[in-house]
């Protein structure tokens, strides 16, 4: 067996000290991908040639004394970031052969910082799913147990980080798609404040909820990636102009006397007892670190699922209208007229879950239903957002602590045919997207099956620093994030 893949911070240090080279690191990742990915199916496209070329350039830059923290670091990118000249599929038959002639802002920033892009990771089709089973390229398997899901939609990125196929990865989160798979694979996944990271070139699922973020081994790595990803982008009208602070500096603050909110609604009957026990352990640790645990209430929590499953599919139904078989992507054979071109192209190009959500979104926006569904959901969305604002303000909280998911990684196929129970697995994460807040999931234990369990820290708008501080303090005092799946071939 080869040497373990280091964390980003370790790799950056080793590269800076010339103890290793980017080519060496990249080769190590590529060889692990070659060995393990036939089992895990974490990657849709591996760009070995391009990665090694970037690695060589990174090594040259380092030898000239140039480069920054990410120079030469091999990363895996969720396959919905458009990469110029490199196939971008969104895990859909629709975009199976799509090669973008432009680059997303996130990947452009990472490349400019010297990062090496190993390839594009598997995901739920168009990021719609919580188990990675909706991918046209087949499900990703959990490195802790290949019979189980790694979660979704950023399941490929999560599995790649957990299995050490890359140093770190980039995911996106519309309703929990970074945090839930992070929890299920025992890694750290951070969703920034909506607008903190540019969405330009990120294939849209639900525009008012989508946000990109780092998926890493620990909070330090997350801070390092976020520092490069965050910042204003004139190409995204929803991008926040406030300059990002020094995230690494935020790591070093103590959490003594911090007030951490614990919403009662997140600890109800739906929560698996083993998850509950692991979260209790995390809470106890924070007490030991000198933080004050404050019971709070977020009364609109229970309405997040229906609210989300109106708003997200509505936006998606419109966002996915551009896949019409005319300018790019799949086109049906021998369309007999325009209507046939549209209807068959889209029926063939999209998978079942995507179609289900397009149908749902079309329905809730359609004449006669808009007010009852869409506008109602938008009003409830405000109530959900105000819940958080009130709790932070009234209880003077630094962060809110919750479970990330009601249960650990479930077996593949378990919920595949039951959309409603699949949707319910997002119950602790989607509120955060509706409110636009930053949140991170980090590991805090294992269940009886040896599956990782994660908890979530939610911050005030634009206060990524607070969740980094709180998360890092936890990881300094615990060891869960260092556990690696042991039964990999």
Partner 1 sequence: MSTESRYETVIGLEIHTQLATRSKIFCGCPNRFGSPPNTQICPVCAAFPGVLPVINKAVLDMAIMTGLALQGEIRTLNEFSRKNYFYPDLPAGYQISQFELPIVEHGFLMIEPEGGARKRIGITRAHMEVDAGKNLHEGIVGASWVDLNRTGTPLLEIVTEPDLRSAAETGAFLKKLRGLVRHLGVCDGNMEEGSFRCDANVSVRRRGETRLGTRAEIKNLNSIRNVMRAIDYEVERQIDLIEAGEKVIQETRLWDANQNHTRTMRGKEEAHDYRYFPEPDLPPVVLTVERIEAIRKRMPELPDEKLIRFQKDYGLGEYDAGVLTADREMADYFEAAVMAARPAEAKSVANWVTVELLGRLNREGMELGQSPVVAEALGKLTRMIHEGIISGKIAKTVFGHMWDGAGDPARIVEEKGLVQVSDQGAIEAEVDRILAAHPDKIAQYRSGKVQLLGFFVGEIMKAMRGKANPGVVNGLLKSKLDG
Partner 2 sequence: MSKSLIQSKNHMSITEETIRHVATLARLDISPGEIQTYTGQLSRILGLMEQLRAIPTEGIAPMSHAVALTLPEREDVAVNPDRREALLANAPDSEEGCFRVPKIIE
Please list the active-site residues: 78, 153, 177
Stretch that binds partner 2, among 48-56, 138-146, 280-288, 323-331 (CB under 8 A): 323-331
Out of 10, 39, 207, 292, which residue is the one contacting partner 1 (CB under 8 A)?
207
Distance, CA of 453 to CA of 405 (rounded, Å): 8
Peptide bond into 153 cis (omega under 30): yes
Distance, in Å, from the CA atom of 324 to the CA atom of 95, rounded to the nearest integer, reads 11
User: Which residue from 69, 68, 88 is spatially nearest to 77, judged by alpha carbons?
Assistant: 88
Partner from partner 2, partner 1, none contacting 380, C-beta within 5 to 8 A by type: partner 2
Closest CB 362 distance from partner 1, rounded Å: 7
CA 10 remoteness from chain centre? 22
Round to whole Å and give the CA distance between 164 and 118: 12
Is there binding between residue 188 and partner 1 (CB under 8 A)?
A: no
Residue linked to tokens 């003594």: 256
Among 102, 256, 389, 394, binds partner 1 (CB under 8 A): 102
Sign of CA dihedral 152, 465, 239, 263: positive
- Give me the least distance between CB of 326 and partner 1, in Å please: 6
Measured from the CB atom, the residue of 328 and 446 that comes closer to partner 1 is 328
Q: Do 441 and 183 touch, CB atoms closer than 8 A?
A: yes
Nearer to partner 2, 15 or 467 (CB): 467
Widest CA span in the chain: 70
Binding string to partner 2 for residues 340 to 379, with x set by CB under 8 A, is what? xxxxx-xx--x----xx-xxx-xx--xxxx-xxx-xxxxx
The DSSP letter of residue 142 is B
318 contact choice in partner 2, partner 1, none (CB below 5 to 8 Å, kind-dependent): partner 1
Min dist. Cβ of residue 208 to partner 1 (A): 4
**Contacts with partner 2 in 9-48 (CB under 8 A)?**
none
- 307: contact with partner 1 by CB under 8 A: no
Per-residue three-class SS string for 176-229: CCCHHHHHHHCCEEEECCCCCECCCCECCCCCCCCEEEEEECCHHHHHHHHHHH
Q: Distance between CA atoms of 32 and 160, rounded to whole angstroms?
A: 10
Task: State in angstroms the smallest separation of the CB of 13 from partner 1.
Answer: 34
Q: Which helix (H) or strand (E) element contains residue 54? A: helix 48-63
Is residue 380 close enough to count as binding partner 2 by CB under 8 A? yes
Using the rule CB under 8 A, which residue among 38, 65, 101, 273 binds partner 2?
101
CA-nearest of 69, 66, 62, 79 to 23 is 62
Q: Does 206 bind partner 1 (CB under 8 A)?
A: yes
Instruction: Specify the residue, 266 or 374, whose C-beta has the smaller distance to partner 2.
Output: 374
Min separation Cβ 129 and partner 2, Å:
14
Q: Is 385 exposed, middle or buried (0-12, 13-18, 19+ CB in 10 A)?
A: middle
For the window 325-354, what string marks contact with partner 1 as x by the rule CB under 8 A?
-xxx---------x---x------------
Question: What distance in Å separates the CA atoms of residue 225 and residue 168, rounded to the nearest whole number?
Answer: 9
Question: What is the side-by-side order of every strand in the sheet holding 211-216?
Answer: 43-46, 116-121, 74-78, 168-173, 211-216, 188-191, 439-446, 452-459, 399-403, 259-263, 292-296
Contact call for residue 104 and partner 1 (CB under 8 A)? yes
Determine the size of the site formed for partner 2 (CB under 8 A): 78
Q: How far apart are CA 270 and CA 222, in angstroms?
A: 30
Q: Binding marks (x or -) toward partner 2, 443..482, rule CB under 8 A?
A: ------------------x---------------------
Min separation Cβ 321 and partner 1, Å: 2
Out of 435, 458, 467, 470, name the contact with partner 2 by CB under 8 A: 435
> Nearer to partner 2 by C-beta: 218 or 315?
315
3-state DSSP call for residue 173? strand
Which residue, 258 or 373, is less far from partner 1 as judged by CB? Answer: 373
What's 372's DSSP letter? Answer: I
Residue 253 near which of partner 2, partner 1, none (CB within 5-8 Å, type-dependent): none
Interface of this chain with partner 1, residues 232 to 271, rule: CB under 8 A: 234-238
Q: Which of 64, 243, 334, 367 binds partner 1 (CB under 8 A)?
A: 367
Give the binding site for partner 1 (CB under 8 A).
80-82, 88, 90, 95, 98, 100-102, 104, 199-204, 206-208, 234-238, 314-315, 317-318, 320-324, 326-328, 338, 342, 362, 365-367, 370, 374
């Amino acid at each position: 067996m080869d040497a373990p893949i280091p964390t980003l911070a370790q790799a950056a240090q080793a590269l800076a000290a010339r103890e290793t080279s980017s080519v060496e690191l990249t080769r190590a990742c590529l060889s692990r991908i070659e060995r393990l990915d036939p089992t895990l199916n974490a990657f849709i496209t591996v760009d070995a040639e391009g990665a090694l070329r970037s690695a060589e350039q990174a090594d040259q830059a380092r030898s000239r004394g140039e480069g920054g923290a990410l120079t030469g670091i091999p990363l895996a990118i969720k396959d919905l970031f458009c990469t110029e000249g490199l196939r971008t599929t969104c895990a859909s038959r629709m975009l199976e052969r799509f090669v973008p002639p432009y680059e997303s802002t996130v990947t452009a920033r990472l490349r400019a910082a010297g990062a090496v892009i190993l390839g594009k990771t598997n995901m739920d089709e168009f990021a719609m799913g919580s188990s990675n089973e909706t991918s046209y390229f087949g499900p990703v398997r959990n490195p802790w147990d290949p019979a189980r899901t790694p979660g979704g939609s950023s399941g490929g990125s999560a599995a790649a980080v957990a299995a050490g196929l890359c140093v770190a990865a980039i995911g996106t989160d519309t309703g929990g798609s970074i945090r839930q798979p992070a929890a299920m694979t025992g890694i750290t996944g951070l969703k920034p404040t909506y607008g903190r990271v540019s969405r330009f070139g990120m294939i849209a699922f639900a525009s008012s909820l989508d946000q990109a973020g780092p998926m890493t081994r620990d909070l330090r790595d997350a801070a390092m990636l976020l520092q490069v990803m965050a910042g204003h982008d004139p190409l995204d009208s929803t991008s926040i102009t406030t300059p990002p602070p020094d995230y690494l500096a935020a790591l070093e603050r103590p959490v003594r006397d911090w007030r951490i909110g614990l919403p009662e609604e997140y600890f109800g009957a739906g929560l698996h007892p083993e998850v509950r026990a692991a979260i209790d352990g995390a809470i106890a640790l924070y007490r030991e670190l000198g933080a004050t645990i404050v019971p709070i209430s977020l009364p609109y929590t229970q309405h997040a699922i229906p609210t989300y499953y109106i708003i997200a599919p509505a936006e998606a139904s419109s966002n996915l209208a551009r896949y019409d078989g005319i300018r790019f992507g799949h086109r049906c054979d021998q369309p007999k007229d325009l209507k046939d071109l549209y209807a068959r192209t889209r029926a063939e190009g999209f998978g079942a879950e995507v179609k289900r959500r397009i149908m749902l979104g079309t329905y809730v926006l359609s004449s006669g239903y808009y007010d009852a569904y869409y506008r109602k959901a938008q009003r409830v969305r405000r109530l959900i957002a105000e819940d958080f604002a009130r709790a932070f303000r009234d209880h003077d909280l630094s962060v809110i602590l919750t479970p990330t998911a009601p249960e650990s990684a479930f077996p593949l196929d378990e919920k595949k045919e039951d959309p409603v129970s699949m949707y319910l697995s997002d119950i602790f994460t989607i509120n955060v997207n509706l409110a636009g807040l930053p949140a991170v999931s980090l590991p805090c234990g294992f269940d009886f099956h040896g599956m990782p369990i994660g908890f979530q820290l939610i911050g005030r708008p634009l206060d990524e620093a607070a969740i980094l501080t709180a998360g890092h303090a936890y990881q300094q005092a615990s060891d869960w994030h260092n556990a690696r799946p042991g039964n990999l071939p």
